């Protein structure tokens, strides 16, 4: 279910979308989007978030980001898959750091804690799923 868009986020998203559509097939880095839209960096970020939350689904065009190209709309499913895998790798890395930095010490200090036990029991499945999605 899509989130309800706030008017400014929707406006920023529209400006970013139009700029990216005009740049196709090339992408635009954040500073280029700032120049093209005349928005601030934070407004561009808000517009990109809106596109990811609402706009991409409405227009059926995924927005991706690559280091060399910046933000872009691509028609190539291979580009989408590459981006999705990178996102899952980042999530897996964050999860691993949370477990080793927070959950493991929590369990070591309070091994009978119900919450920590629940989280520890679920984490292998989540981790395995994310690892599979990064391949």
Question: Could you tell me the end-to-end alpha-carbon distance of the chain, in angstroms, rounded to an integer?
Answer: 28
pLDDT of residue 3: 53
pLDDT of residue 78: 95
Given a cut of 70, the residues of the chain with pLDDT beneath it are: 1-5, 55
pLDDT of residue 46: 96
Residue pair 44/33 in contact by the 8 Å Cβ criterion: yes
pLDDT of residue 4: 57
pLDDT of residue 99: 94
- What does the CA dihedral 123, 130, 2, 74 come to, rounded to 10 degrees? 170
Write down the H helix ranges in the chain: 7-23, 30-37, 41-50, 56-59, 77-98, 104-109, 114-133
Whether this prediction's pTM lies above 0.75 is answered by yes
Q: Is the preceding omega at residue 94 within 30 degrees of 0, hence cis?
A: no
């Amino acid at each position: 279910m899509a989130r309800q868009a706030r008017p400014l986020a929707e406006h920023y998203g529209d400006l970013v979308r139009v700029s990216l559509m005009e740049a196709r097939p090339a992408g635009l880095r954040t500073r280029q989007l700032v120049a093209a839209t005349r928005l601030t960096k934070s407004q561009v970020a808000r517009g990109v978030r809106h596109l990811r939350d609402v706009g991409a689904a409405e227009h059926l065009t995924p927005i991706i980001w690559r280091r060399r190209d910046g933000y872009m709309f691509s028609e190539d499913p291979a580009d989408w898959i590459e981006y999705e895998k990178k996102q899952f790798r980042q999530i897996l890395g964050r999860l691993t750091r949370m477990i080793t930095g927070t959950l493991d010490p929590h369990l070591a200090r309070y091994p009978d804690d119900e919450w920590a036990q629940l989280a520890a029991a679920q984490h292998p499945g989540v981790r395995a799923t994310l690892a599979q999605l990064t391949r």
